Amino acid sequence: MLNTKKNTKAVAALAKKHGAKVVDFRFTDLLGTWQHYTLHIDQLDDGTFASGVGFDGSSIRGFQAIHESDMLLMPDPDTAFIDPLLQVPTLVLICNISDPLTRKFYSRDPRHVGQKAEDHLIKSGIAGSTLWGPEAEFFVFDSVRFENNQNSCFYEIDSVEGIWNSGRDESPNLGYKPRYKEGYFPCPPTDTLMDFRSEVLLKCRSIGIDCFLHHHEVATAGQGEIGVGARALIAAGDQLIAYKYMIKNIARAKNKTVTFMPKPIFGDNGNGMHTHQSLWKGSTNLFYDAKGYAGLSKLALWYVGGLLKHAPALCAICSPTTNSYKRLVPGYEAPVNLAYSKRNRSAAVRIPTYTVSDPKVEARTKRIEYRPPDPSCNPYLAFAALLMAGIDGVQNRIDPGKPVDRDIFEMHGGELARIPQVPGSIEEALTHLEKDSAFLLKGGVFTEDLLEMWISHKRKKEADFVRLRPHPAEFHLYYDC
């Protein structure tokens, strides 16, 4: 099962119990896509865990140059699980990356960056562990088409739930299509995906992913969320990557397609990844103080201060695509306002208050929810960056200011102008990251070469790819100029 303590003998026993024929080594590239490499099961032994498995690092986005391409996959036995979606019985192992010459872990391996962030926290003396609970929203579509050529550009998505299909001849059209911003959360038949989400929840639990709830989300056209339980940073990253893999493949088997793209639909809510986080020493939640604002300790408020101070730079890692900034606009419940508040979803930092009536439960569950991230991010890098910002806030006792316990979306003029906002584009966020990266470099958690590669890739391969192309909406606006 994913993220349960195992040694190499336990991994071998798991493979034998389920009759595994192959072993699949998985890791993320710099941007967060799961990659894999497969061997026959008889190639797996204790030496595999000690020596690793070779692969070509120059063919992976954000990794090596071709003249230094040889790299090693180092499997983590604690991550072993049997993939329930493949016909051939397959043992899966999540890996770190190391250099075959120096035997050191690779500076651009996102999973190792997360491990270094956890180690930096412990060495700081602030806390001994963390908990991370990301809420990765998604859309389930029935089809998607897109193309980019020199003389044409288009996309088209469709869903039987889409309100735009209310007048389509579906032989017959049975109605019950959620209106824009009204998908949260009517029962079936309006919600056509309840069984689908239940199946995902159960299959994820079968491999150790702690899915515990699901529901339709606000948007029309099959937006949903499946709750995943909080775990330590690396375990949370492993869990989220595996969860995205599971839901995409279960959808494909049903002739549907899932996207975690932040803003696939114009005029309706996008996909966020609100990220719950807390710091612990042993069994003590360091974010809790019954006498503090919304039950937060001073340490928690300083942590929030670090998040808010570094939020513009964090956006380059936590909201890392050009499409992210189609979501981060006012009017769609998007967390553009850099403030904190209890119960308040119009602020970038929300302090949940579901359990305040029971102090014992509140002490265990007190946390902050940072709302700007979206699920296009690499979770290992995003969680590591958020933790580093929080540590900086605690170490420098950064005052987050006063809470804003009002609907910020309804504020106007000078009152609203006093509240900082997130960047308006990935280019702006990358510029902030260039100017404000020292907090990430502390303890060698992030490295300059990783940040340089990240910024270069995002500018040249993504921002320029979009910026240099005529947009279909421009023909609507300007063709007759």
| Residues belonging to the active site | 56, 135, 137, 217, 225, 274, 345, 369, 371
The sign one gets for the Cα dihedral 205, 274, 437, 330 is positive
User: What are the structure tokens assigned to 245, written together?
Assistant: 């893999």
Place of tokens 């114009």: 266
Torsion of CA 301, 280, 277, 308, to 10 degrees: 30
- C-alpha triplet 345, 346, 349: angle, nearest 5°: 70
Torsion of the alpha carbons at 25, 277, 384 and 31, rounded to the nearest 10: 60
What is the Cα 405 distance to its own chain's centre?
Answer: 27
Q: Give the largest Cα separation in the chain, rounded.
A: 71
Q: What angle do CA 371, 375, 377 make, to 5 degrees?
A: 100
Give the C-alpha separation, 398 to 178, whole Å.
43
User: Side chain identity at 456, as an amino acid letter?
Assistant: S
